Amino acid sequence: MRKPCCDKQDTNKGAWSKQEDQKLIDYIQANGEGRWRTLPQAAGLLRCGKSCRLRWINYLRPDLKRGNFCEDEEDLIIKLHALLGNRWSLIAGRLPGRTDNEVKNYWNSHLRRKLIKMGIDPNNHKLRNNRPRPQNHGASGSTTAILSSPESHACQPEKSQGDNGQVSDAGSYSEENPNGLPDLNLDLTITIVSPSNSTVEEERKENQSAISTELGCASSPTLLLFT
């Protein structure tokens, strides 16, 4: 196991003060960077060696570049990330004045989302192919579905093939069918409803009574009076 760089109990934690920053700057300017394990004790700082290193690299270096990333830096980060992946220290080495922590935070907060909006996978820098296909829900799509359905074929006129091999519709013009209409079965059956027996008997009795009345009138004697 690696030995810790310092005793955690005797070190200060939290924000750095201006006096601590000035002590660190003066020591590094006089002795140079490096030897972070022994630097706090040599500089008279009650800080951890790792804390001194991060404070110098990320905040106190004189060549640090402050401000937002420009478009050239964004393009360079994207190209380097496509080649090197998440090796932020190597990417930051190509950007003067930028730290690896700053480049990593800017990638996760801005550039990654920018590539996703452009339809590019930020992991492999390739176009995404999982976009949903457009579906036509308009009238043309419904009409096509209706015409292509099996029920629609039942409404279409049947086609017959003639002697000469030409295909013609069943409703086309012919000598037997001059109007071009399909043959229809129009056989009708007419049924005569016979009257009931009671109705026939009543009519027969009425006829007999009428005949007898006429005969009675014809056979009545005629009286002739002679003077």
Residue-level pLDDT, tens digit, the chain, 227 residues: 556 556 565 788 889 999 999 999 999 999 988 889 999 999 999 999 999 999 998 899 888 888 899 999 999 999 999 999 999 999 999 999 999 999 999 999 999 999 999 999 999 899 887 654 555 554 444 444 333 444 444 444 444 444 445 444 444 444 555 555 555 555 555 555 555 566 667 777 777 776 666 555 544 454 445 44
Identify the bridge partners of residue 127 per DSSP, sorted by sequence position: 120
Second-level CATH architecture of 71-117: Orthogonal Bundle (1.10)
Which H helix or E strand runs over 168?
Answer: strand 167-169
pTM of structure: 0.49
> Which two structure tokens, joined as six digits, stand for 224?
């002739």
Q: What is the pLDDT of residue 33?
A: 87
Q: What is the pLDDT of residue 3?
A: 61
Q: What is the pLDDT of residue 139?
A: 42
Q: What is the pLDDT of residue 6?
A: 61
**Residue positions counted in the chain:** 227
Q: What is the pLDDT of residue 213?
A: 65
Q: What is the pLDDT of residue 206?
A: 76
Dump pLDDT digits (tens) for 98-108: 999 999 999 99
Q: Do domains 8-60 and 71-117 have the same CATH topology?
A: yes
Identify the bridge partners of residue 167 per DSSP, sorted by sequence position: 161
> Which two structure tokens, joined as six digits, stand for 226?
């002679």
Q: What is the pLDDT of residue 90?
A: 94
Give residue limits of the domains in the chain. Answer: 8-60, 71-117
Between 3.40.47.10, 1.10.10.60, 1.10.730.10, 1.10.10.10, what CATH number should domain 8-60 receive?
1.10.10.60
Give the span between the Cα atoms of 31 and 140, in whole angstroms. Answer: 80
CA proximity to 171, closest of 162, 180, 184, 160: 180
CA proximity to 131, closest of 142, 141, 140, 118: 118
